[in-house]
Amino acid sequence: MRGSWIARLAAVSAFALMPVVSGRAPAWGAATSAPPQRVVSLNLCTDQLAVLLLPPDRIAALSHLAADPTLSYVADRIGGIPLTQGGAEELLALKPDLVLAGRYTARAAVRMAKAHHIPVVQVGLIADFDGIREQVRIVAAALGESATGESLLADMDRRLAAAAPADGRRPTALSLAPGAFTSGAGTLTAAVMDAAGLANYPAAKGMTGYGYLTVEGIVADPPDLLITAASETGTDRHPSLSGALIAHPALLRAIPPGRRPRLEENLLGCGGPYTVEAVEALAHARTEWLNRRETGTP
């Protein structure tokens, strides 16, 4: 599962963006029986929420993707928690009392869980911070951890407010992946840029969702900032012809390294309370760019 986080998002960008609940997973409260004690997550996005919301002894298993630090924000917190490949027989052997899954992943396992009357909570991709709030609340309620969920969201909202721009100046920013793949309007990346006080460059060009730009077009009308994944710059650990495009000499001249903030890709692959860290990083990049512009620093 290496390669651009934006490209991985593109593979599922046609799917619905909001969470759904299947199997009638209950919202646990004082009047109900004990909340689930053997939660199995079959999806990277729900892996991260499970780890943030639950103590390890209530997680029976996470998906194997949870252990990949380039994808998973919680990779350093899962020691000792079993990992699953998402097979149906494997799931039943874990004896879960609640299953967390994506809408379009591990379908056989989800069908098996439903056939055995195991509650299932399924989630979709997130496109904005309202979506993050809704998804956290749905999953937290199903886990019996609504108070923890609200605490995570309160911290996220506090940090979003602190990162909000103090003025209306909005430098243009382009998130670029190998192959000149990018994110336009209606994506989580665009929402993060907006919260950080940046204008989404592809959206201004009329792009909605995910798509491609040409190097020639970018060089002819360069954005103020070029955002890349921290693990992929075209010359780093995973060199490729498409990745080398980001280091194209013409693109480097148009947008030099000092105007290229990097984001950890595990902040945007799945929307969550931790996505505020991407906002903070881009808000800092915005401030630095404005300061350089005012002082005439290249």
Torsion of CA 246, 252, 255, 256, to 10 degrees: 120
3-state secondary structure of 47: helix
Distances (CA, A) of 260 to 100, 110, 174, 269: 36, 41, 9, 20
- Name beta bridge partners: 225: 173
Torsion of CA 163, 167, 168, 174, to 10 degrees: -40
Per-residue pLDDT tens over the stretch 146-187 = 999 999 999 999 999 999 999 999 999 999 988 789 999 999
Of 132, 136, 144, whose CA–CA distance to 97 is shortest? Answer: 144
Neighbours of 214 (CB within 10 A): 9
User: Which of 16-20, 146-150, 216-220, 291-295 has the least mean pLDDT?
Assistant: 16-20
Q: Is 201 exposed, middle or buried (0-12, 13-18, 19+ CB in 10 A)?
A: buried
Instruction: Please report which helix (H) or strand (E) contains residue 63, including its range.
Output: strand 59-63
Judged against a pLDDT cut of 60, whether residue 4 lies above it is answered with: no
**Helix and strand numbers, DSSP H then E, in the chain:** 12, 12
The residue that leads in pLDDT, 278 or 18, is 278
Give the helix ranges, DSSP H, for the chain.
5-10, 44-53, 88-93, 107-115, 129-143, 146-163, 188-195, 201-204, 215-220, 241-244, 249-254, 276-295
Contact 101, 122 (CB under 8 A): yes
What pLDDT is recorded for position 263? 93
Structural domains in the chain, sorted by start: 8-161 (3.40.50.1980), 168-295 (3.40.50.1980)
What pLDDT is recorded for position 243? 58
What pLDDT is recorded for position 178? 80
User: Which of 31-40, 172-181, 200-209 has the least mean pLDDT?
Assistant: 31-40
What pLDDT is recorded for position 295? 80
**In whole numbers, what is the pLDDT of the chain averaged over residues?**
87
| Average pLDDT of span 223-243 | 66
Counting residues of the chain whose pLDDT is more than 70, the rounded percentage is 84
What pLDDT is recorded for position 27? 55
Band of the pLDDT at 133, cuts 50, 70, 90?
A: very high
Distances (CA, A) of 93 to 23, 87, 89, 109: 19, 10, 6, 11
Band of the pLDDT at 296, cuts 50, 70, 90?
A: confident
Band of the pLDDT at 5, cuts 50, 70, 90?
A: very low
Per-residue pLDDT tens over the stretch 237-282 = 555 544 567 888 999 999 999 999 999 989 998 999 999 999 999 9
| Average pLDDT of span 92-97 | 96
Band of the pLDDT at 126, cuts 50, 70, 90?
A: very high
